[in-house]
Copies of this chain bind each other. A is one copy, B any other.
Amino acid sequence: MTNKPWSLQQCCDAYAGAGVGGISVWRNVIEPVGVQAAAKIVRASGLKVPALVRGGFFPAIESIKRQNALDDNRRCIDEAAAIGAEMVVLVVGAVVGMALNEARKQVIEGLSKVIDYAEANKVKLAIEPLHPMYAPDRSCINRMKEARLACEAINSPWLGIACDVYHVWWDPDLEIEIEIAGQQKTLFGFHVCDWRPNTRDLLNDRGVMGEGAIDIKHIRACVERAGFAGLNEVEIFSAEQWATDQHDYLLRVLRAYEQHV
């Protein structure tokens, strides 16, 4: 998603060429080529695949929609297994007009119904807490703590947390929750970007590391102290950067990673 203008093939070529260790794959780049072709592209690149992004969106007013979500999450797990992804990242969902605590109950119910399928396919599920500004309709889980409570409710080694600094950097309980996630062995993913002061758009105006307010090195130190040993994933949604030359941009991202992560 960081290089959204590129196809999966272009991403894999560029990342492998630049010495990047892996790629997390969004479903929108699988769709144009199909999952088997996507799997071939990824395998041929030699890149590791921390995650397929994204499953989730469990809560719904109508039971048929909740059922559809379960089906879609199982398909997502299939795709993750096919492309060799270690985990599926979950944006758990929320519904305007539904209380967030009711939505969280439905998330846990949904997770309980797909976790066996995840285990059977050897694909982990990672709840990504989203920033509170996405609480209305994208995620009723907006802090590490509520992700932890969901993990504790399901209590499976196949369910954990993807910690994205963009979403959680402001949380006064971030450090302690990262520590607990380390103890509970639920720290599955770590995503970096930055929060631009004077953000112009709620979705597509993330900053390159170093451009903003987040002390990424500090949070990285916390996740490493908690035992995280996976790949650090750069995930930047930026209409501004997508409009630039993507090869130049990739070099800027790599330099920013060296300096600020």
Interface positions of A (Cβ within 8 A of B):
96-97, 99-101, 131-133, 135-137, 142-143, 145-146, 169-172, 195, 197, 199-200, 202, 212-213, 215, 218
Contacts and interface: CB of A to CB of B under 8 A. Distances in A.
Copies of this chain per assembly: 2
A213 B135 contact: yes
Contacts of A171: 132
A110 to B, nearest CB: 19
A131 B136 CA distance: 14
Which label, helix, strand, loop or mixed, suits the secondary structure of the A interface?
loop
A133 B135 contact: no
A214 to B, nearest CB: 9
Given A131-B132, A131-B133, A213-B135, A172 B145 contact: yes
14 contacts: A96-B212, A99-B215, A101-B172, A132-B170, A132-B171, A133-B199, A135-B213, A136-B212, A136-B213, A137-B197, A142-B172, A145-B172, A146-B172, A200-B202
A228 to B, nearest CB: 21
Contacts of A137: 197, 213
A213 B172 contact: no
Nearest to A95: B213
B131 A143 contact: no
Contacts of A136: 195, 197, 212-213
Contacts of A146: 172
Contacts of A142: 170, 172
A145 to B, nearest CB: 7
Closest 5 pairs (CB-CB, A-B): A136-B213, A135-B170, A132-B170, A136-B197, A96-B213
A192 to B, nearest CB: 16
Given A133-B132, A137-B213, A100 B199 contact: no
A252 B215 CA distance: 43
A240 B143 CA distance: 31
A170 B134 CA distance: 9
